[in-house]
Amino acid sequence: MADCGEANGPERKNEIVRAKNEEKELTKEEKQRLRKEKKQQKKQKEKKDDKGSSEKSGREKTLDPLSASQVLSTQSPTQKVPASAPIPVPPSGAPSHSSGAPSHSSSGAPSPADKPAKSKAELKAERRARQEADRASKQQGSSSSSKTKAPASDLNPVVKRLPEHVQVDDPAVVKRLAKKLERQQIPLRSDYGYKVSLFSHLHQYSRKAPLTQLLSIPSSVIHPSIVRLGLQYSQGIVTGSNARSVALLHAFKQVIMDYSTPPNEELSRDLVNKLKPYISFLNQCRPLSASMGNAIKYIKKEISNIPSQYKEEEAKTKLLECIDKYIDEKVVLAAKAISKYAIEKISDGDVILVYGCSSLVNHILCEAFDKNRKFRVIVVDSRPRLEGREALRRLVQIGISCTYVLISALSYVLPEVSKVFLGAHALLANGYVMSRVGTSQIALVARAFNVPVLVCCETYKFCERVQTDSFVSNELDDPDELMVTRKGKTQLEDWHDLSTLGLLNLVYDVTPPDFVDLVITDLGMIPCTSVPVVLRVKNVDQ
């Protein structure tokens, strides 16, 4: 039984892997087939459980008593490991598994009392037996991988869908995207220039080729305020997570105000369908940020929840109010709450280091200055965006004394810094902070110098994605921005002609939670690892 279990295991694994690779074409039939096979296997197992229950109990007892004691002693801690490791596995699987393990380590054979309980218990027992056999055969601790894979394959196979924007090097995905855009009548923006091979799975667009040159001039398919917004995104006139979300919601307000329900349609369904091509268009202009994604989810939920008896005018007013409320709560009030908490952390005589231009951090520092805290600021900046100049202007304008350095001088200024305040573009579910490229460097060096790093982030920027490095999902900006013209000469002018040269202009990077000491949110000051808790609480609320 252990053998056929093993045979099942790797076979199912292969199928899952194959299914993952081909998941683009995972049609309904294939999904049904998978489900049927799962059911069959469960039935097989139950049959064999019935047959071999007596054998199994006998087999367990026939194990070498020495190895059994070894196995039993090492079993309980190692059994906990597979429970925590497979996070994507549905949580219902893990607790039942861990609860099953101690009961088995205490008692030998499962009691064949009730049929359903027996089958579950039998399943667990035979799994345990398989694991013992694995361990006994290999006699090394490296079989934990097969252990974790074995229970995972028995539980529901989770087929993860990769988002489209990180699969640009896969022609099938690109074709699908092109077809979808064609259906929505939105032009496809073509990639530009040579892409560094590590990032060839991401889009890279040129600022000089805006999407509007492929659109008709009085844009009829896309609402004019959305075209304007897309243009402002792609040209960098609206940058910064907060600004982009607020501008997005403003544009949606215009769309809703100009919307009229076609006959025989319901506002709650039709408006959501109207918004889909707009969102694709904005995505083509510039990949959506996490805060924008959350705002869109909120709007779609609000629209779908409009009761059908509402008249159009009422519904529209309600939606506009919802948008205003969302912005007030999540952006304006959150900023106030965060400044309140952050100001507690700023004491007189502090030297605060900030990086780039984060609207929230600037707001905090301005508020702190208004409350007569005595501190000075070091603004760290980096090419090619040089956003620190704008932060510098805003801080100096209200009277804070500032120093301005480039990121290459970071280790020289850090000895005099007392705290580092960083803004975030998004906070990921595993506690990583996604922010402007260079932030992780600052956090790393600050940790090396034992300087506390505080990240300020509103809760609406928390997202459920998980990422541990900056390669898998990022944004590539126009590589021509890296060119600099000094005294009339541009050194990198002909970089396209050199086949061995590639220019890389990354926008984001992720900072591990070990480098961040505190996250200041509107819910309070939490450690970085509590982000999943906040997400869970938010989901329960909604």
Cβ contact 238:232 at 8 Å: yes
Query: Which residues between 344 and 403 bind another protein (CB under 8 A)?
Result: 356-357, 359, 387, 389-391, 393, 396-397
Is residue 294 a contact residue for another protein (CB under 8 A)? no
Is residue 459 a contact residue for another protein (CB under 8 A)? no
Is residue 342 a contact residue for another protein (CB under 8 A)? no
Q: How many residues bind another protein (CB under 8 A)?
A: 43
Residue from the set 93, 157, 187, 236 that interacts with another protein by CB under 8 A: 236
Residue from the set 235, 305, 408, 490 that interacts with another protein by CB under 8 A: 235
Is residue 292 a contact residue for another protein (CB under 8 A)? no
Residue from the set 80, 228, 373, 376 that interacts with another protein by CB under 8 A: 228
CA distance 378 to 254: 40
Q: Per-residue x/- mask for another protein, residues 134 to 173, rule CB under 8 A?
A: ----------------------------------------
Is residue 83 a contact residue for another protein (CB under 8 A)? no
Q: Which stretch of DSSP H or E encloses residue 130?
A: helix 115-138
Contacting range for another protein; rule: CB under 8 A; set: 61-69, 138-146, 231-239, 286-294: 231-239
DSSP secondary structure code for residue 22 in this structure: T
Nearer to another protein, 124 or 223 (CB): 223
Residue from the set 246, 424, 528, 534 that interacts with another protein by CB under 8 A: 246
CA distance 513 to 511: 6
Question: Nearest 5 degrees, angle CA 216-CA 222-CA 223?
Answer: 115
Contacting range for another protein; rule: CB under 8 A; set: 32-40, 79-87, 212-220, 486-494: 212-220
Residue from the set 213, 264, 308, 309 that interacts with another protein by CB under 8 A: 213
Q: Per-residue x/- mask for another protein, residues 178 to 197, rule CB under 8 A?
A: --------------------
Residue from the set 75, 143, 153, 239 that interacts with another protein by CB under 8 A: 239
Q: Give the SS3 label for residue 127.
A: helix
How far, in Å, are 48, 177, 216, 368, 430 from residue 424 at the CA level?
54, 29, 37, 19, 15
Is residue 219 a contact residue for another protein (CB under 8 A)? yes
Question: Nearest 5 degrees, angle CA 66-CA 70-CA 74?
Answer: 170
Residue from the set 68, 136, 196, 243 that interacts with another protein by CB under 8 A: 243
Is residue 210 a contact residue for another protein (CB under 8 A)? yes
Is residue 273 a contact residue for another protein (CB under 8 A)? no
How far, in Å, are 106, 394, 481, 490, 492 from residue 485 at the CA level?
75, 27, 11, 4, 9
Is residue 331 a contact residue for another protein (CB under 8 A)? yes
Residue from the set 177, 249, 290, 437 that interacts with another protein by CB under 8 A: 249
Nearer to another protein, 396 or 445 (CB): 396
Is residue 290 a contact residue for another protein (CB under 8 A)? no
What secondary structure, in 3-state letters, does 53-119 show? HHHHHHHHHHCCHHHHHHHHHHHHHHHHHHHHCCCCCCCCHHHHHHHHHHHHHHCCCCCCCCHHHHH
User: What is the spatial order of strands in the sheet that 350-355 belongs to?
Assistant: 402-406, 375-381, 350-355, 419-423, 453-456, 518-521, 524-526
Nearer to another protein, 162 or 337 (CB): 337
Cβ contact 425:436 at 8 Å: yes
CA 502 to chain centre: 28
What secondary structure, in 3-state letters, does 316-370 show? HHHHHHHHHHHHHHHHHHHHHHHHHHHHHHCCCCEEEEEECCCHHHHHHHHHHHH
Q: What is the binding site for another protein (CB under 8 A)?
A: 210, 212-213, 215-220, 223-224, 227-228, 231-232, 235-240, 242-244, 246-247, 249-250, 253, 258, 327, 331-332, 356-357, 359, 387, 389-391, 393, 396-397
